[in-house]
Amino acid sequence: MAGLNIRDIMIYPDKIESFEQMYLFSLRYAWRALRQIFIFIVIFIVLKSIYTHLPPTPAPLGMILSLVIILIAIFLFVMSLYRVDGMLRETPVSILQAGWRTLKSILKIYLACLLVFCGFVLIFVIGRWLIFSVLGLSPTAGGLIAMLIVGIPMILLLIYCYLTIPLLALYEPSIVRAFYRSLTCAQKQFLSVVILYMEIVIILVVSSTHTHHAQWLLHHHLMELCDLVIFSLILPVMINQTLLLLHNARISIPSPSQGEG
C-alpha cells in the first residue's frame, strides 16, 4: 500500500457529470450504506415507537419529548454520515468512532439547525404580518396566499440549507462558511437537492402518526414495520446522494481524518 494514492482506493468517483449518474451510483451502493446505518434506523424506530405509544401527556411535556426525539434523530443522522462516508472512502468508521466524532461536532450542527428554525419562524411572522396586517385579507383568502408567501420561502430555505449539516460534520468548521457552501452547492446542483428534499418529505409523510394511513397502521400494529421498510429503502440512497453532492461539487477542503477514535 506504500505510495498508493488515497484516490485510487476510494469508492467515491473522480467526477460524476450528471444527476442520473449520481442517482445510479447512490442506488448501486445503497445496500452497503444500509449495512452501515441499519442499527441507527432501528434505534430511531424503537424510540419513535415508545414515544407514539406513550399515554397522553401535558402539552409542555409533549413538546419536550418531541424535541428530544428530534435531537436524537439529528445525532443519529450525523453518525450515519460518518459511517457511510468512511465506507465510500474505503476507510471504515466504527460506531464508536462515529459517535465520538459526532459528539465533537454536534453542538455546531444543533446551532445551525436552530438558526434554520429561527429562519422558519421569521418567514412565518413576516408572512402573517403581510397577509393579515398589510393586505388585510380574510382567513380563507389569507390561507391560500400564505401557501405562496410563507410556504415557498420555507421550502427554499430548507433546500439551500440542508447541506449545512453534512458540511459541518465532515468538512467545514465554520457555521457561516458551511451555510455559504451549502447555498453555492445547492445553486450549482439544484435539481439534485430538490430530489433530496422530496425524499425527506416522503419519509416525513409516511412516518408521520397524524395521517389516516398512519392511524390504520397503528391500529393494525404495522407502523414500525412500515417505518423500517421506508427508512431502509430511502435513507441509504439519500445519504449516498448527500455525500456525492458534496464530492461532486469539488469543494476544496481537506478530507476528514478517518482514524479518530
Domain boundaries, the chain: 16-50+57-248
Residue 134 is predicted with a pLDDT of 66
Nearest CA among 110, 63, 66, 68 for reference residue 208: 66
pLDDT at residue 163 is higher than 90: yes
Residue 207 is predicted with a pLDDT of 80
- Of 3-7, 45-49, 236-240, the least confident: 3-7
Mean pLDDT of 89-97: 92
For 136: left if phi > 0, alpha if psi spans -120 to 50, otherwise beta; the answer is left
**109: which residues sit within 8 A by CB, 6+ positions away?**
74, 78, 165, 168, 169
Q: Give me the percent of the chain exceeding a pLDDT of 70.
A: 87
Handedness of CA 6, 77, 30, 16 (dihedral sign): negative
Which one-letter amino acid corresponds to residue 6?
I
Per-position DSSP letters for 21-57, written without gaps between them: HHHHHHHHTHHHHHHHHHHHHHHHHHHHHHHHTSPP-
Our CA dihedral for 41, 42, 46, 47, rounded to 10 degrees, sits at -40
Q: Which has the higher per-residue pLDDT, 26 or 249?
A: 26
Residue 126 is predicted with a pLDDT of 87
pLDDT at residue 259 is higher than 50: no
Q: Rank 42-46, 172-176, 203-207, 249-253 by mean pLDDT and report only the highest.
A: 42-46
Length of the chain: 261
Residue 221 is predicted with a pLDDT of 77
Residue 4 is predicted with a pLDDT of 35
Burial readout 177-193 (b: 16 or more C-beta within 10 A, e: otherwise): ebbebbeebbeebeebb
Q: Which has the higher per-residue pLDDT, 61 or 8?
A: 61
Tell me the whole-structure pTM to 2 decimals. Answer: 0.87
In the structure, what pLDDT confidence band is assigned to residue 5 with cuts at 50, 70 and 90?
Answer: very low
**What is the chain's mean pLDDT, rounded?**
84
